[in-house]
Every structure is written in structure tokens, then in C-alpha cells.
Amino acid sequence: MRYAFPKLLKSQIAYDIARTILDGFDKHYRLFRAATHDAKRYFEQGDWKTAQTAARERISYYDRRVAECVQTLEDEYDQAEISDEVWREVKLHYIGLLIDHKQPELAETFFNSVCCNILHRTYFHNDFIFVRPAVSTEYIEPEEAKPTYRVYYPATDGLRFTLKRIVTNFQLSTPFADLDRDVGLVEDRMRAMFGNDLLEPNHQIQVLANLFYRNKGAYIVGKGINGNRIYPFVVPILYNRKGQLVLDTVLFDPTLITVLFSFTRAYFLVDMEVPSGYVHFLRTLMPYKPRSEIYTILGLQKQGKGAFYRDFLHHLHHSSDCFESAPGIRGLVMVVFALPSFPYVFKVIKDHFPPPKETTRALVKEKYLLVKNHDRVGRMADTLEYSNVAFPRLRFSEELLAELKSVAPSIVEEEDDQIIIRHVYIERRMTPLNIWISEAEKRGDHAAIEHAIIEYGNAIKDMVGVNIFPGDMLYKNFGVTKHGRVVFYDYDEIEYITDCNFRAIPAPRNEEDEMASEPWYPVAKNDVFPEQFGTFLLGNLEVRKYFLKHHADLLAPDYWQRAKQRILDGHIEDVFPYPQELRFSYKPFSPTAQAA
Ligand SMILES: Nc1ncnc2c1ncn2[C@@H]1O[C@H](COP(=O)(O)OP(=O)(O)OP(=O)(O)O)[C@@H](O)[C@H]1O
């Protein structure tokens, strides 16, 4: 029989514990918001280095606050004295404290993290933690003067005036080069978007009240509304070469907006008093993006992780297919499996790695963490890391279970009708690039192959721009997203570009050198010889043709040496999460203009 919650709350300890946990959360969110607040200042000062460091540090805030809170509780209470009854009261008090709270869903997640740290896993009890949200996040209004979004009425005020007001309301202290010109450009494109639609009485523009900061950009996020139609838009604000601000473009295409919020990018910094209000608004722009991914891209990655897990359990309940090995070439380091009906893959680190791998479990984890904390520039998939995940035994094929038990026995355990996986990374499922290319070949789709190779080279170049050397550049280590972008997902050999030594292959001294099957010259651990990349990348003639046409520079040591030098000189590359052709300043390449 299910245990009933106590009818009377009697325990002072229960109240005190609930209060301590909520104080821990409030401290966390205060610091989290302070970081997003600072992002505005860094943007105004063009202080990219500090902004980068702050964005990276913010990721670790959550775990630190949870650890602090656990410590406080352990110092103050003897766990043995806290009965199940008291834990149930703690939860009820906590729910009470969350009435009128502005971030109740985040506070519930924090509560779960603290409880799960204190209670042993086998002791988890659904009555103690928030398996489902207990407090609604709908219609929460901010207390501060700023609403979640502002509303403008262009039919009354004029579109140009409205657009200018939208920008100036953000009160950026850096001057614009020519705001009237930029607003005119946005207006032209916006008029084209609204087309000849008759303006309905509800015609309005809604804009989220705070800017979204990432890398060297700040983004205005909003939507036009006319009748029952919604027109999402995003306006990036960047610096020009003279250190003045410009509106760089306006994006309307839902696919491009979705890509801007992609799982392959660094998290945004946005000052949100009521995060659920932002998530709700963003979902009206991207209805197919799971709430979990929206929380994550807003930097609330633990919330995203919790929401993802709930979605996953829900999906398991409402599906019947079985987990199976992910299609493609098996990894040496990871066992990768997937549920065909679910768009993610599950990656488990093997217990032993065959040669030539020289890594360890700890090192692999370190590399994955490096990527989590790094700017992923739209080219590296984000991963969710989970411990002790229980899967229903029935949903595993014998073959997959046998494989998991044989290559990762320390991680996989069978318990009654469950498979417990002690550590797993979960990441978006993509089509491995090698499979994508061979399918395009079978169809005789040359354009698709060329597209894949252009994207592949661009992915590497984007990663190089942020100091990442992928290490293992084989096509099988890249995936193609549903938007046709090529993204890297195999991180165990990743290195910082600045830690690598890019060398040209020395000229042979004599005939013997020339014939040698092993390098006759000394090779240090971090030496990389780009001239050798062709050996494993250019085997296929068609791929070779496109590779040499678009990315031959990747095979030359000096490309890499120059890239490394730029990073060492402190240069931070511009990252454009949308096509260059859409920029207001874009000038198509013209051979005559070039000649002139
Ligand atoms: N996100 C993903 N989407 C689809 N398939 C994937 C994904 N990640 C991995 N795979 C599949 O699993 C295989 C192994 O994954 P991964 O490259 O991450 O493992 P690994 O053990 O690190 O590989 P390697 O031996 O190259 O180091 C890939 O070749 C691919 O077929």
C-alpha cells in the first residue's frame, strides 16, 4: 500500500531542513543570476576573455552549492535520527515554502540533488523527492519591475519607431554605429516577412526583456503576432571593427533559430527572474524543441538533465521497442546503444581499451568534461552525464546485454528486472558521417557528398578556432544532424590546439629513410603531422575530389601552425551561428570587385 503523507506537520527538524535546502538553492540562484548580470557588462566592455571564464565557471556553480548544502545538513543533523516520517515532512514543508517562489521548478531539482546526495540510492523513495513537479510554473509573474517580455504595438507607433524602442530599451551603454540605418534594415526584412497580411487587431511584437549573451554577441529574441500567426525573430547585436555596435541581421527562419539554440553550442547567459517564463516563451518559437534542451541552453543544465530524464521515463512507458547497438563502426572506448524510437544515444565507457588506445576511464571523463565546459561552436555535441540509471531488463536484447556485460562489467549490473548502468553519457543521435556518405554514394547523390565534406572541413575549422584539435578525425567520429550540419562526437582524443606541435614530415635523408615503414625521425607525444591526414581521409575518390577542392589547407602543417599562433596571440575568433549571407554587411564575392 502506498504510504500516506502525514496529516499533521510536527517536526521542527523537518522544517529546518527544508529551510536550509531552500536557502542553499536561493544562494545558488543569486550567484547564477549575478553571472548573467555581469554578462551585460562584459559585452559592453568587449571583455571576451573574462566573459568566457565567467561562462565556464557558472557551469560548476550548481554542484558546488549542492555540496555546500549537503555539508551543512550533515554537520547539523545526524542522518540516523531523521526518520522516513521526517523526510516526508521535509518535502511537504518545502512545497509550502515554494508557494510564490519565482523558480520553484529549479528549487525542486536542487532539493532532489541534495536529497539524493544524502540518502543512499536504495533508499530513494518517491515520497521523499520530486519525481514530478509539485508546484506549477504557469503564470508566474516577476516581482521586479521588469516583466518577462515586453509588448509593442507597431500598428499604433509605427514599425520603425517600435524597432528602435525595442533596441534602446535594453539600455546598452556602448554606442551604435548607426542605429537608424540598422533599424531600417531590420524593418525592410520584417515588412517582407509580414508580407501583405492584413493587420489584425491583436497585431503586436513581444520581446523577451533581457538580452541573450554568448561569445561576442547579444541577441534580441522575440515574436511578431498577427491574428493566430506567430513570427519568431532573433536580432544579433555585434561589434564592428571600430568598436561600435551594429544589428548584424534579423533571423526569421525557424530552422535557423532552432540551430541558434542547438545542443552543439555554448549556453547562453540571460538574466531571468522567472526562468519558466523564458522557457514558455521560447517554446512558442520552437515548439519541437524539448523543454529539457531549452533549460539546458539557458545554462540551467541540471534542470535540463532532470527534465530529460522525466521525458525519457515517459517515453519508455509509451514505447515497446528494444535498445540495440547504435549503427556504425563500433568504438574502441565506448559501447554505444540506442532505442530506435528515441532520438538519443547512450554511451558507456568500456572497462578496457585495446591498443592503440592509451587512455583511461578518468582521462575519457576529463575529455568529456572539457567539452561540456568549452564553447562547442555548433560543432561538438553536448552530453548529459548520469549515474546509476535503471533500465527495464525486458527492453534489452540478449546480444546487447551480453556485449555490455562483457566489455563494461564494472559499470553494468543486473538487479531483478532492471539493468543498472553506473555511468552513462546521453547525447543527441545523429547519422554517423561515414554512413551518411556511403548512403549518398548509393543514391549517386554527389551534391550530398560535397555538402558533407564542406561541412566536415568547416566543423574542424570551427573547432580549431576555439582551440580544439579533435585528435581522431575519421569520418565515423562525426555525425550529421537533422539540419544537415556536421558535428563531432568522439572526444577521447581531443587536445587543445595550443598543446599540439604541428610538424611537417622531414625530408628523407637517404633511400633507406624513404623505404622505412616506420617514421625514421623522432616523434614526440603531442606531435601532429597534418600531411598524414590524407592517408585516412582521402581513400574514397569522390570524397578526395571535394576535400581537395574545399579543404586542402587542412593537410598543410602551416594552416595548423598559424591557427595555433593566432590563439597564442590571444585572438578570439568570431563565431556566426547563422549563414554569413544573411548578415546586413554581407557582400557577395565578386571577381570584378576583387580585380579592381
Ligand atoms: N551521437 C551519436 N549519434 C549516432 N551514432 C553515434 C553517436 N555517437 C556515437 N555513435 C556511434 O557509435 C560509434 C562509436 O562512438 P564513439 O566514436 O563515440 O566511440 P569511441 O569508442 O570513442 O570510438 P573510437 O574507437 O573512434 O575512439 C560511432 O562510430 C557511431 O557509429
Would you list the domain boundaries of the chain?
12-123, 149-304, 319-429, 433-582
* 345: its cell numbers: 544515444
Contact assessment for residue 377 and residue 368, using Cβ atoms and an 8 Å cutoff: no
Q: Is 270 in the pocket of ligand 1 (CB under 6 A)?
A: no
Q: In tens digits, what is the pLDDT along the chain, a chain of 596 residues?
A: 455 677 888 889 999 999 999 999 999 999 999 999 999 999 999 999 999 999 999 999 999 999 999 999 999 988 777 888 888 899 999 999 999 999 999 999 999 999 988 876 555 566 788 888 999 999 999 998 889 999 999 999 999 999 999 999 999 999 999 999 999 999 999 988 777 778 899 999 999 999 999 999 999 999 999 999 999 999 999 999 999 999 999 999 999 999 999 988 889 999 999 999 999 999 999 999 999 999 999 999 999 999 999 999 999 999 999 999 999 999 999 999 999 999 999 999 999 998 888 889 999 999 999 998 888 999 999 999 998 899 999 999 999 999 999 999 999 999 889 999 999 999 999 999 999 999 999 999 999 999 999 999 999 999 999 999 999 999 999 999 999 999 999 999 999 999 999 999 988 888 888 887 788 888 888 999 999 999 989 999 999 999 999 999 999 999 999 999 999 998 888 888 999 999 999 877 554 444 33
What is the whole-number distance in angstroms between the Cα of residue 308 and the centre of ligand 1? 21
C-alpha cell at 293: 534542451
Question: Residue 472: CB within 6 Å of ligand 1?
Answer: yes
Show the cell assigned to 156. Answer: 499604433
Question: Using a 6 Å cutoff on CB, does residue 336 contact ligand 1?
Answer: yes
Atom 2 (ligand 1) nearest CA: 429
Question: What confidence score (pLDDT) does residue 593 get?
Answer: 43
Q: Cα dist. 121→107, 117, 129, 242, 326 in Å?
A: 21, 9, 12, 57, 29
Residue whose CB lies within 8 A of the most ligand 1 atoms, among 323, 336, 349, 411, for a mutation test: 336
Q: Are 585 and 246 in contact (CB under 8 A)?
A: yes
Q: Count of CB atoms within 10 A of residue 99's CB?
A: 8
The sign one gets for the Cα dihedral 536, 374, 279, 231 is negative
Annotated catalytic residue 382:
yes
Residue to probe by mutation, ligand 1, list 490, 491, 492, 493, most atoms within 8 Å of CB = 490
Cell 555581469 sits on residue: 38
In angstroms, the CA 61 to CA 302 distance is 11
Grid cell of 189 as nine digits: 526584412
Q: Is 455 in the pocket of ligand 1 (CB under 6 A)?
A: no
Distance 388 CA to ligand 1 centre (A): 22
Q: From CA 481, how far away is CA 427, in angstroms rounded?
A: 12
Map residue 234 onto helix, strand or coil.
strand
Q: Could you tell me if the CB of 328 is within 6 A of ligand 1?
A: yes
The Å distance, Cα 431 to ligand 1 centre, comes to 10
Closest C-alpha to ligand 1, atom 15: 331
Q: Looking at residue 197, what is its pLDDT? A: 75
List Cβ neighbours of 566 (8 Å cut-off, separation of 6 or more).
573
Which residue has its alpha carbon closest to ligand 1 atom 7?
429
Across the strands, what pairs with 418?
392, 415
- Nearest-10 crossing angle of helices 446-465, 541-551: 50
Q: Do 224 and 542 meet the contact criterion of CB atoms below 8 Å apart?
A: no
Q: What grid cell was written down for 308? A: 530529460
From the CA of 336, how far away is ligand 1's center (Å)?
6
Does the C-beta of 476 come closer than 6 Å to ligand 1?
yes
Closest CA to 463 of 431, 492, 432, 495: 495
HEC-encoded secondary structure of 482-513: CCCCEEECCCCCCEEHHHCEECCCCCCCCHHH
382 Cβ inside 6 Å of ligand 1: no
CA atoms within 13 A on the CB side of 282: 28
SS3 state at 115: helix
Q: Does the beta carbon of 88 lie inside 6 Å of ligand 1?
A: no
Q: Residue of the nearest CA to atom 12 in ligand 1?
A: 336
The residue whose CB lies within 8 Å of the most ligand 1 atoms, and thus the one to mutate among 323, 358, 380, 489, is 489
Q: Binding-site residues for ATP, please?
A: 326-332, 347
Instruction: Characterise 175 by phi-psi region: left (phi > 0), alpha (psi -120 to 50), beta (else).
Output: beta
* Short-list 590, 574, 589, 591, CA closest to 236: 574
* Catalytic site residue from 248, 271, 375, 382: 382
Q: 446-465 and 557-568 are packed helices; what angle lies between their axes, rounded to 10 degrees?
A: 40
Which cell numbers in the block locate residue 593? 570587385
Give me the DSSP letters along 438-453: HHHHHHT-HHHHHHHH
Tell me the CA–centroid distance for residue 479 and ligand 1, in Å: 9
DSSP state of 204: E
> Is 147 a pocket residue for ligand 1 (Cβ < 6 Å)?
no
In the reported structure, the alpha carbon of residue 543 is separated from the centroid of ligand 1 by a whole-number distance in angstroms of 21
The label of the residue with cell 554578462 reads 39
Indicate the annotated binding residues: 326-332, 347
CA distance 242 to 232: 31
Closest of 78, 97, 83, 80 to residue 20, by C-alpha: 97
Model pLDDT, residue 576: 86
Rounded to whole angstroms, how far apart are CA atoms 103 and 305? 16
Sign of CA dihedral 225, 228, 231, 232: positive
Pocket test for ligand 1, best of 334, 366, 383 (most atoms within 8 A of CB): 334
- Closest approach atom of ligand 1 to CA 336: 12
First and final C-alpha spacing in the chain: 85
Measured on CA atoms in the order 111, 113, 118, 124, is the torsion positive or negative? positive
Whole-number pLDDT of residue 120:
62
| CA nearest ligand 1 atom 30, residue | 328
**Is the C-beta atom of 424 inside 6 A of ligand 1?**
no
Rg value, the chain, Cα: 27
Cell of 337: 546503444
Comparing CA positions, the residue from 590, 554, 383 lying closest to residue 463 is 554
Q: Could you identify the atom of ligand 1 that is nearest to the CA of residue 490?
A: 18
Within 10 angstroms of residue 268's Cβ, the number of other Cβ atoms is 23
DSSP state of 252: -
Is the torsion defined by CA of 440, 441, 442, 445 positive or negative?
A: positive
Q: Is 183's C-beta closer than 6 angstroms to any atom of ligand 1?
A: no
Cα(344) to centroid(ligand 1), Å: 12
409 CA → ligand 1 middle, Å: 20
Q: Is 470 in the pocket of ligand 1 (CB under 6 A)?
A: no
Q: Is 430 in the pocket of ligand 1 (CB under 6 A)?
A: yes
> What does the pLDDT read at residue 192?
86
Q: Compute the distance from residue 364 Cα to the ligand 1 centre, in Å.
A: 13
Ligand 1: residue of 323, 383, 472, 477 to mutate (most ligand atoms within 8 A of CB) is 477
Whether 365 and 342 have beta carbons less than 8 Å apart is answered as no
Give CA–CA dist 170/210, Å, rounded: 7
Q: Do 294 and 286 touch, CB atoms closer than 8 A?
A: yes
